Structure 1
């Protein structure tokens, strides 16, 4: 019996993904001063026991002011390392790899948690607002706080934040890191002409707008061991006139690959600017971003990860079989069904689907399959 690609190992540098199912970063907004809490341990244990091949810890601030909300995780202090190490150990205990997404929220920092409205924090509130930075002084949305345009000292502070966070990710034992360059956060706003109006070396043409992204990638790669991969999460298209196109992202992917980045994790949207030509994207459909991963994979000859409403195992397998991506990232579907890998293995007719689970689960579930469960006949009265 041929093993489906979804359950075929993938070797990358010095690590092995036991299957192609990756937990996509999912912000939980429940950290305390950047530190992992019991919630995070339980959140990740569900996925580890469910049989995923790897997982990426949520968007994690490289500086304190680079967090999205007060509840976001951080790697800007040595005190964050022990909690992160616990998450790594949860995955390693089940033979899965662990990664962490490191980034800076830029002009989308200093906001409330989603269930508290997700708007900008106000001065004097229970959780104080803080100053935000961006390539240009353009608010993320009409009526939001205006970020301060970055100066030379800001560039150095952010680069140092990425460098130090990468060191701490290594100390925590992560197998790979993912640089967050998507969803309207700092690196994305440098890349998009809709949010970057600079006239110096970090703005203007495509080469200028990608300059800071590449400097960050070089910083991370210089710290991260050669035998461990680096991922890059990209908004591959802004879905807006004058914004990032897939061709722009392919050009970026080539430059990132030349600097030692191994995988592009392809997303879209997030550059909400309030300008007249920023049109909302069409309602998403299952697999609505797969074509972006496929475009980068073929155009830049780069390993890619597909993400975005991938919910059906056959859909995931078809993406891999078509050569559109090498890894499949899943988020909300795993929240709803942390045993998705088992159900995928059954749907794709893996010879022993229970082998994706830890042995105590696999042993008892195999035995359960030997028993025919039927409701007892109704008793006559």
Structure 2
């Protein structure tokens, strides 16, 4: 089993010009649904504070909805607009900072994964680049160019509010088949204006979002961008099938100043392309020269899209990759849901005390 000596690379400091962290651990964003009326309350603040108290280097919040009526689906999912919700997030920031932690909100719009009639705004129509579901079925009409531009501005407003509330960075959620990823993916983006086209042209929506957020937060504030190949309905989906395609996809986002790429995979140990053992984060770092976060079933022996529970597993392979500079930071998801002290226990070599993930953890805030 993993011991303190072998986990040392996980507890080296991380430093770039815009962000300094005490170690390489990140709390992965995980939707919890415990924010009544879409407002994060004191229970949510205490939940994040517990991770900060237990040495998590950077907390990325659960996805939180930008100011658009169809940004989330569910009355318990937090939003990032309106006086009450932003007051709730201000308390989260205060609690995490008091405990010595750092935190970034994940700015989110679920796009066409939202069903008509979903709360909190039952009358709101889902929105996606071409009005197509992830399965390619026509649900409604495509938004106009002007409506897409308004979505860009909603992300920018959220970024502005994040900085004003004292967050340490923002993460833009461009993964898993949600709104931004629907613009990336040829199956869901059939647009003929500037937001559609080939692989590079389909990055335009994300590029404008990063540009607009940068305009609001300034040059010194870190912008993290999360992307994935897989979609909620298709684990085998690929935006890029070769390193060359991945480089072409990343370049527009690099050019507009993404600071850190968060490269979402289901299993961090799986190679992304044939002929190399680099995972998606490894390839992204190699091609972009930017710091990257790797993620995917860290510390567990079961894949995170199967929520039936999982046992703990050795961190040796993860630490080896980190030690080789394949990636810079490691996001931990389900392990931290069940066990707020997971990072601290690993740091202290108390791996036998780690709690295995149990699906009961989804029902309360540990």
Quote the residue 1:245 is aligned against.
241
**What secondary structure, in the 3-state scheme, does the structure 1 residue paired with 2:40 have?**
coil
Gap regions ≥5 residues in structure 2:
273-277, 300-313, 352-366
Quote the residue 1:57 is aligned against.
61
1:266 paired to 2:229: no
1:139 paired to 2:133: yes
Q: Alpha carbon RMSD of aligned pairs, Å?
A: 2.7
1:115-130 to 2 correspondences below 5 Å: 120=115, 122=117, 128=122, 130=124
> Residues 126 and 252 of structure 1: is their aligned pair in 2 closer, same or farther, counting only changes over 3 Å?
closer
1:210-266 CA distances to partner (integer Å, 9 max, x unpaired)? 111101110111111322211000014565467443644432333222212111101
1:88-122 CA distances to partner (integer Å, 9 max, x unpaired)? 1222122221101102111012xxxxxxxxxx354
1:313: Cα distance to partner? 3.6
What TM-score do you get using the length of structure 1 for normalisation? Answer: 0.77
1:194-233 to 2 correspondences below 5 Å: 194-233=187-226
> Residues 320 and 243 of structure 1: is their aligned pair in 2 closer, same or farther, counting only changes over 3 Å?
closer
1:314: Cα distance to partner? 2.8
1:317: Cα distance to partner? 1.8
> Residues 175 and 18 of structure 1: is their aligned pair in 2 closer, same or farther, counting only changes over 3 Å?
same
> Residues 246 and 14 of structure 1: is their aligned pair in 2 closer, same or farther, counting only changes over 3 Å?
same
Instruction: Name the CA distance, whole Å, in 2 between partners of 1:74 and 1:348.
Output: 37
**What secondary structure, in the 3-state scheme, does the structure 2 residue paired with 1:309 have?**
coil
**What secondary structure, in the 3-state scheme, does the structure 2 residue paired with 1:16 have?**
strand
Instruction: Name the CA distance, whole Å, in 2 between partners of 1:91 and 1:160.
Output: 28
1:13: Cα distance to partner? 2.4
Instruction: Name the CA distance, whole Å, in 1 between partners of 2:230 and 2:136.
Output: 22
Which of 133, 139, 145 is matched with 1:152 structurally? 145
1:294: Cα distance to partner? 0.4
Instruction: Name the CA distance, whole Å, in 1 between partners of 2:120 and 2:343.
Output: 41
Contact map agreement 1:192 1:244 (CA 8 A) in 2: no
**What secondary structure, in the 3-state scheme, does the structure 2 residue paired with 1:11 have?**
strand
**What secondary structure, in the 3-state scheme, does the structure 2 residue paired with 1:133 have?**
coil
Instruction: Name the CA distance, whole Å, in 1 between partners of 2:129 and 2:7.
Output: 47
Gap regions ≥5 residues in structure 1:
110-119, 269-283, 350-381
1:77 paired to 2:79: no
> Residues 176 and 127 of structure 1: is their aligned pair in 2 closer, same or farther, counting only changes over 3 Å?
closer
Contact map agreement 1:18 1:96 (CA 8 A) in 2: no
Quote the residue 2:303 is aligned against.
none
Quote the residue 1:89 is aligned against.
94
Contact map agreement 2:116 2:125 (CA 8 A) in 1: no
> Residues 75 and 16 of structure 1: is their aligned pair in 2 closer, same or farther, counting only changes over 3 Å?
same
Between 245-254 and 303-312, the greater mean CA deviation after superposition: 245-254
Contact map agreement 2:268 2:279 (CA 8 A) in 1: no
1:36-55 CA distances to partner (integer Å, 9 max, x unpaired)? 12331232122112111110
1:20: Cα distance to partner? 0.8
1:297-321 CA distances to partner (integer Å, 9 max, x unpaired)? 1012121100110114434322211
1:23-62 to 2 correspondences below 5 Å: 23-62=27-66
Instruction: Name the CA distance, whole Å, in 2 between partners of 1:169 and 1:202.
Output: 26
Aligned length: 322
Contact map agreement 2:52 2:102 (CA 8 A) in 1: no
What TM-score do you get using the length of structure 2 for normalisation? Answer: 0.80
1:142: Cα distance to partner? 7.9
**What secondary structure, in the 3-state scheme, does the structure 2 residue paired with 1:29 have?**
coil
Instruction: Name the CA distance, whole Å, in 2 between partners of 1:322 and 1:305.
Output: 14
> Residues 285 and 307 of structure 1: is their aligned pair in 2 closer, same or farther, counting only changes over 3 Å?
closer
1:170: Cα distance to partner? 1.1
Question: Which of structures 1 and 2 has the bigger CA Rg?
Answer: 1
Contact map agreement 1:193 1:242 (CA 8 A) in 2: no
Contact map agreement 2:230 2:238 (CA 8 A) in 1: no
Instruction: Name the CA distance, whole Å, in 1 between partners of 2:269 and 2:54.
Output: 22
1:294 paired to 2:282: yes
Contact map agreement 1:253 1:264 (CA 8 A) in 2: no
